[in-house]
Amino acid sequence: MTTGTGHVVLDAGSYPIDGAHIGGIGLRICELAETLAEFVPTTVMAESVAGAVPVGRARLASSRSWRELVGHADAVMFFDGGSSQRLHEAQTRQCLIIVENAPPIEQLEYPSLRSAADPGAVHRRLVEDYAAQLRAADHFLCRSAVERVTLLANLCLTGRLSAAALDRSRTLEHLVSLVPIGFSASSAERAARAAPQPGPDLLWTGGLWAYFDPVAVVEAVKLCHDAGHPVSLGFLYGRAQPDNKMVVDDLLTAIRTHHLEDWVELRTEPISHLSRDGVLKGSKALVSIAKPGIENDTCVRLRIRDSRLYGRPLLCDNFGPTAVEAAADGLGTAVDPRDRAALAAKIMTLTAGSEAHDTHGPIGGFDYTRSAARFLDWLVDAIARRRARL
């Protein structure tokens, strides 16, 4: 691993990075920034940095400081839904542009988009922002093999691939890096030290969105109870929002219908980021079940991080690459959730016993210091080349 000088800015856009509201993408940004900062001076820029989660040696800056930051940046990294204006300004400054993005497919299921006066126009703007990133970036990060394949297809469509590019690298390593979903070194240290906290046997660790099927899990839990296995289930983020209200309402109806009010918990108040360590370590297994759909064919859910960091088995649907990715760490168990009996059987197997399963803890291969090593080498070298040109 090489180290170098320079300055990298990670633009979190509208994604929160504070400990009470941070989600999957915000957390990935902060953990990547922590890792990058060990090799290159790094700043995380967000709309608000108050109460931000730990970012190691990386600095924090408000988006109000953008003009100053971009004036001194060697590279700027953008994520899903990044600002096209800031992307253009970074190009104008001849900064290296790094992008981690995903095609805006998930948004097609959001009630906020569907209820817009012109849903097509709203989605076209998202597609335009995505296409602008495809055209502008000097380098791309992908979170999984399937995202890499879809990215390459879109780069071909936008004219970014050429014979010269293949001559430089038949694997396009100079253009695309695969950095699987993982965690930072300090997150691994904190997770290893955390004491397990008593709580539900089975935990749904992320949000509830239109393409998920939490009702399937509730119905499977009811079958577990009928079979004499009274498993408890918890949803860490059960607060209703405009884009998930229908899902939460259906979930609450299922809980009442099956008389599981004492066995299924929906947290409606935010859980602090640092509190999650003990809660997740106190569980026996994690669960994430989605419906069949194009979203699941083209992405891997960021909550795989929790399985890899806390060493807890993950039960997921078998509809897409999330199942393939989860199996790669040895902790994933996939099942067709339409078969409620099979889903219940897997739940009973994973939650058997009175104590949380002992596992091997954080899986070292997904520590970003290791999994992002090739990208870090590219970044240090690319910054050195940029500085030599200027």
pLDDT tens track for 200-244: 999 999 999 999 999 999 999 999 999 999 999 999 999 999 999
pLDDT tens track for 115-170: 999 999 999 999 999 999 999 999 999 999 999 999 999 999 999 999 999 999 99
Distance CA 125, CA 129 (A): 6
Q: What is the dihedral of CA 268, 270, 274, 277, to 10 degrees?
A: 20
Residue 344 pLDDT greater than 80, yes or no: yes
**Percentage of the chain modeled with pLDDT above 70:** 97
279-to-11, 16, 203, 334 alpha-carbon distances in Å: 30, 22, 9, 23
pLDDT band at 281 (very low <50, low <70, confident <90, very high): very high
Residue 355 pLDDT greater than 70, yes or no: no
**Average confidence score pLDDT of the chain:** 93
Block residue for tokens 């970044």: 379
Give the H or E element holding residue 140.
Answer: strand 139-142
Q: Strand 314-317 to strand 233-235: parallel, antiparallel, or no bridges (unpaired)? A: unpaired
Distance CA 312, CA 361 (A): 8
Equal CATH topology for 8-179+372-389 and 186-365? yes
**Helix and strand tally (H, E) in the chain?**
17, 13
CB 86 within 8 A of CB 63: no
pLDDT tens track for 87-129: 999 999 999 999 999 899 999 999 999 999 999 999 999 999 9
CB 264 within 8 A of CB 202: no
Which one-letter DSSP state was computed for residue 74?
A: S
Residue 298 pLDDT greater than 90, yes or no: no
- Give strand pairing partners of 248: none
Give the H or E element holding residue 76.
Answer: strand 75-78
Give me the helices (H) in the chain, please. Answer: 24-36, 66-72, 84-92, 111-114, 119-136, 145-157, 163-168, 185-193, 214-226, 245-257, 276-281, 294-298, 304-310, 321-328, 340-350, 368-371, 373-389
Looking at residue 354, its pLDDT comes to 59
pLDDT band at 82 (very low <50, low <70, confident <90, very high): confident
Residue type, 94: Q
Question: Domain segments of the chain: what residues?
Answer: 8-179+372-389, 186-365
299-to-302, 327, 360 alpha-carbon distances in Å: 9, 15, 27
Q: Which residues contact 75 (CB under 8 A, 6 or more apart)?
A: 6, 7, 8, 9, 95, 96, 97, 98, 379, 382, 383, 386
The full DSSP string for 243-270 is: TTHHHHHHHHHHHHHTT-TTTEEE--SP
Looking at residue 67, its pLDDT comes to 96
Overall fold of domain 186-365: Rossmann fold (3.40.50)
pLDDT band at 329 (very low <50, low <70, confident <90, very high): confident
Residue type, 180: P
Residue 316 pLDDT greater than 60, yes or no: yes
Which one-letter DSSP state was computed for residue 271?
A: P
CB 378 within 8 A of CB 178: no
Looking at residue 326, its pLDDT comes to 86
pLDDT tens track for 3-52: 767 899 999 999 999 999 999 999 999 999 999 999 999 999 999 999 99
| CATH number attached to the domain at 8-179+372-389 | 3.40.50.2000
226-to-253, 258, 273 alpha-carbon distances in Å: 19, 11, 35
Distance CA 47, CA 62 (A): 6
